[in-house]
Amino acid sequence: VTDWARLTIDAEELQNHIDRLGEVGALEAGGLFRGLYDRNWQRAIDLVEGWMAEAGLVARRDAVGNLFGRSEGTASSRCVASGSHIDTVRSGGRYDGALGVLAALSAVKALLRACGPPKKSLEVLVTCEEEGSRFRSNFWGSRAIIGKVLPSEARALFDSDGVGLGDAMREVGLDPARIPQAARGDIDAFIELHIEQGRVLEAGGHAIGVVDTITGMHQARVEVTGRQDHAGTTPMDLRRDAMAGAAEMVQRIAELATEMGRPAVATVGTMSVRPGAVNIVPGEVVFTVDARHPVPEQHVRLAEQVRRTIEEVARRRGLGLQVQPILDHQPVPMDATVMAAIEAGALAEGLDYLVMASGAGHDSQILAERIPAGMIFVPSRDGRSHSPAEHTPIEQIVPGVRVLARALHRLAY
């Protein structure tokens, strides 16, 4: 029996860690950037490794630069892990990824103080890369842990300066040939605490989100071809205006997701118009679609409806059409046992929690393929994320860390 009154989260230390890690990679224009294997990434990893050592954890880096801080289990060779990613988007905030790392460290320290060593080993996991902001190598760290990075990827990917991923690895002392050694088979459960990155929790007044699914994601590139003509001399009824057609498509795509209702979302986030002149009827428009839904059938239906609608508009307007899929990720359910441990923790803490889908991608969706995984969301102020405005006050973080500690206790002690 654990005396939970003795479980104290050191809020001051956690805030201090958030602030200090948040300075690593800070940009003059605001926000911060830590790209995979760059100098700020190295400083951030070193900083966290130092904090792990202070906490009495044994730190280890794997073949791709994921960092683990381990408290050895007394009764099992298996382990339970918690953490998130250390890299950031360009001009990102202090909380995305970083909070999951620091919350795990804080929860594990609190558990060791209150309950002593665990039965199964506890590991604070710092994945080296999730965002793909330097190399388009999304989920590099978590994919390596489940053995899904091919050494050939290190030869195929380059950053915007032309530096190869393999060379960037060698610069920080890693050998691309050893990537397969990062695979793990001994992790029984993984919990990732993360900011919600949306405004559902805040709007509903919920303290915690318990993630049940990470949403499915369908992305495509749409090329609409009309006829380039003189904007003054071509009557409206004789035009094949690629932009007017694309505009109708964009509007219909938004309507489709709106009609389907929450949590369906569909976004046209990029568009280019050719030739792009004030006095020319556009001959070609290229745009992207991103459509997401956490329920598998609905996810498929949304993607199909988007496709059918685009085709219908093109046909009616006599426009050419090419749709190329960019990616298609099915929704990923979280593990029932891990979810139950998180919910039990939230109940025991007397918190108002919401079971919800994650609309963003996370390391957990990759790890879930091999490792029972779950996620805890804490509110994001005004829903802001991937922005310097990202913020969650410490009073809203600590309850999440307590839930994390209780869930880890259930799984590892």
In the bound state with Zn ion, the residue whose beta carbon lies nearer, of 100 and 118, is: 100
Burial class (CB in 10 A: 0-12, 13-18, 19+), 116: exposed
From the CB of 86, what's the least distance to Zn ion, in Å? 10
| Closest CB to Zn ion among residues 97, 216 | 97
If the CB atoms of residues 340 and 389 are measured against Zn ion, the closer one turns out to be 389
Binding part of the chain for Zn ion, among 89-97, 178-186, 210-218, 287-295 by CB under 5 A, reads: 89-97
Residues numbered 151-190 forming contacts with Zn ion, rule: CB under 5 A = none
Stretch that binds Zn ion, among 53-61, 95-103, 178-186, 288-296 (CB under 5 A): 95-103
Residues in the chain: 413
Q: Output b/e per residue, 48-80; b: 16+ Cβ within 10 A.
A: bbebbeebebebebbbbbbbbbbbebeeeeebb
Q: Total residues at the site for Zn ion (CB under 5 A)?
A: 2
Part of the chain binding Zn ion (CB under 5 A), chosen from 90-98, 286-294, 350-358, 369-377 = 90-98
- Residue 271 structure tokens: 């568009």
Of the candidates 144, 141, 234, the one whose C-alpha atom is nearest the C-alpha of residue 183 is: 144
Site for Zn ion in 194-253 (CB under 5 A): none
96 part of the interface to Zn ion, by CB under 5 A = yes
Q: Tokens at residue 248, please?
A: 């109708």
Give the whole-angstrom CA distance, residue 300 versus residue 324.
16
CA–CA gap between residue 221 and residue 324 (Å, rounded): 5
β-pair partners for 187: 79
If the CB atoms of residues 93 and 97 are measured against Zn ion, the closer one turns out to be 97
Q: Tell me how far, at minimum, the Cβ of 240 lies from Zn ion, in Å.
A: 43
With CB under 5 A as the contact rule, which of the stretches 2-10, 33-41, 88-96, 205-213 interacts with Zn ion? Answer: 88-96
Q: What minimum distance in Å lies between the beta carbon of 85 and Zn ion?
A: 6
Q: Angle between the 336-348 and 394-412 helix axes, to the nearest 10 degrees?
A: 130
As measured in angstroms, the least distance from the Cβ of 96 to Zn ion is 4
In the complex, minimum distance from the CB of residue 377 to Zn ion, in angstroms, rounded to a whole number: 11
For the bound state, the minimum distance from the C-beta of residue 278 to Zn ion, rounded and expressed in Å, comes to 41
Residue 179 C-beta: closest distance to Zn ion, Å: 22
| Binding span for Zn ion by CB under 5 A among 92-100, 118-126, 170-178, 351-359 | 92-100
Between vectors from CA 94 to CA 92 and to CA 100, what angle results, nearest 5°? 115
Nearer to Zn ion, 37 or 413 (CB): 37
Interaction of residue 49 with Zn ion, rule CB under 5 A: no
CA–CA dist 101, 404 (Å, integer): 12
Residue 390 within binding range of Zn ion, rule CB under 5 A: no
Only one of the segments 12-20, 73-81, 93-101, 213-221 lies at the binding site for Zn ion (rule: CB under 5 A); that segment is 93-101
d(Cα 412, Cα 410) in Å, to the nearest integer? 6
3-state percent breakdown (helix, strand, coil) of the chain, nearest 5: 40, 25, 35
Owner of token pair 């049940």 = 212
Q: Which of 35, 97, 176, 216 binds Zn ion (CB under 5 A)?
A: 97
Interaction site with Zn ion (CB under 5 A):
96-97
